[in-house]
Amino acid sequence: MAAKVGVGLLGLGTVGGGVASILQNPDERHPLVGELELIRVAVRDLNRPRPVALDASLLTTDPSAVIQDPAVDVVVEVIGGLEPARSLILQAIAAGKSVVTANKAVIARHGQEITEAAAAAGVYVLIEAAVGGGIPIIEPLKQSLGGNRINRVSGIINGTTNYILTRMAEEGAAYDAVLKDAQELGYAEADPAADVDGLDAADKIAILATLAFGGSVDRAAVPTEGISGLQGVDVDYANQLGYGVKLLAVAERMAVSGDPLPLSLRVQPTLVPMDHPLAGVNGVNNAILVEGDPIGRVMFYGPGAGAGPTASAVVADILNIAGIRQASDGPGKVDPLLAAGSWRPCALADSGDIRQRHYVRFKTKDAPGVIGNVGGCFGERNVSIQSIVQFNASDAGAEIVVITHEVSQRQMNEALEAIQALPEVSGLAAHLGCL
């Protein structure tokens, strides 16, 4: 057997503890796990109680001591946040160490800088745990689907919001009440913005897009809408019409080719037909659908968060680095699939060009002919409608729900403007995507 592979951990929270626990208990796992040796662990406070029993001599409060330890071959960054995580990753690369990180925020914003530094140093930065928790999605995208022209990657990639949406659908509960519950159960943070505003999902879809299409995009420019404005009535109407509502993240190519390749990325609450593979993804589970040519459509499903699943993904990356070391004579040369550098420029397309189906709900006066007038406005702007249904008609007014066929955002906006100008329409109460 080859020499042991030294692992240095930056952070010993739930994920770091899960990783240490696997490394300390290699039995019944792949035998290569037994070749990994935990060398040093950087923590913030030496005296805090730990989820795993570690020899005190392994602990340090100095992350640099872990990175620079000559016995450490692979640095695992599970601190989270932008800094000092980004600097520590770059420091590890500069020291010639491969890096494994679960840090989607850093990779979504500084992935290009980090990948270029890793390529120059001939080391790997692996990120399986950054998207989809334990679900193998990064490695399959990099190593198993390269023969395809990828056309779209979409999915449910935030467990917190999916938990909230599942309970809203199952119990008819209001958003605020479920969020409060989720916070008490530990499924949502005290400050839930990163999850419920879609920022976490936007980080992740930006990462998936880079791997699927070979170039990075401007993370800050990804149109992102969360679920905090979602009303229970729309979940209810969607169910009645045969759809579930999911916070969907989408990355798709807008053309067969291009330099730069035009992409559409977005995060938005979206109606999903009940017989669609994503509709059955409930609770904190995640699922990612990859569509390509010639493969067609494949889906990856599983636990999107949690110490165990995330640790499984981190250890997978460490194993990949350990495995490839046995095939190579030394550092400096890397497997281009595993290293996954960018290979071409990509750019976000004009959002007006994005084509999809839409769900909209209008509040209207209960005037005769209102359905006809709304339908007419759509027709005049060439927005083809799949269904138009009136709900809750009363003296106070009614609600009209429209599901369109696929149209451009530009056409849709023009139609919505015209409809909101109709005297019998009091307002646009909801506007969601629809698969």
Binding site for its own copies (CB under 8 A): 18, 21-22, 27-33, 128, 134-136, 139-140, 143-149, 214, 256-257, 275, 277, 280, 292-303, 306-309, 311-316, 318-320, 323-324, 326-329, 333-338, 343
In this structure, what DSSP letter does residue 324 have? H
77: phi then psi, degrees, rounded to nearest 5: -100, 110
Answer for the pair 66, 98: CB distance below 8 angstroms, yes or no: no
Q: How far is CA 434 from the centre of its chain?
A: 19
Beta bridge partners of 285: 303
For its own copies, the closer CB: 100 or 383: 100
Q: How far is the CB of 193 from its own copies (least distance, A)?
A: 27
From the CB of 265, what's the least distance to its own copies, in Å? 18
Q: Can you tell me whether residue 114 is helix, strand or coil? A: helix
Q: How far apart are CA 19 and CA 38, in angstroms?
A: 10
Minimum separation from the CB atom of position 88 to its own copies (A):
23
- Tell me which of 97, 104, 142, 204 is the catalytic residue: 204
Structure tokens at 295: 């493969």
Placement of tokens 């053309």 in the chain: 255
Name which of 198 and 215 has its Cβ closer to its own copies. 215
Give min distance, CB of 402 to its own copies, in A: 28
| Sign of the dihedral defined by the CA atoms of residues 236, 241, 244, 245, in that order | negative
> Please, which residue, 2 or 71, has the CB nearer to its own copies?
2
Residue nearer to its own copies on the CB measure, 141 or 425: 141
- Nearest approach in angstroms of CB 227 to its own copies is 23
4 classed as catalytic: no
- CB nearer its own copies, residue 199 or residue 271: 271
Interatomic CA distance for residues 81 and 292, integer angstroms: 33
Specify the length of the chain in residues.
435
| Angle in degrees, CA 203, 205, 208, rounded to 5 | 115
Cβ closest to its own copies, residue 407 vs residue 435 = 435
Distance (Å, whole) CA 141 – CA 426: 47
Least CB distance to its own copies at residue 135 (A): 6
Q: How far, in Å, CA of 417 to CA of 374, rounded?
A: 11
Residues noted as catalytic: 204
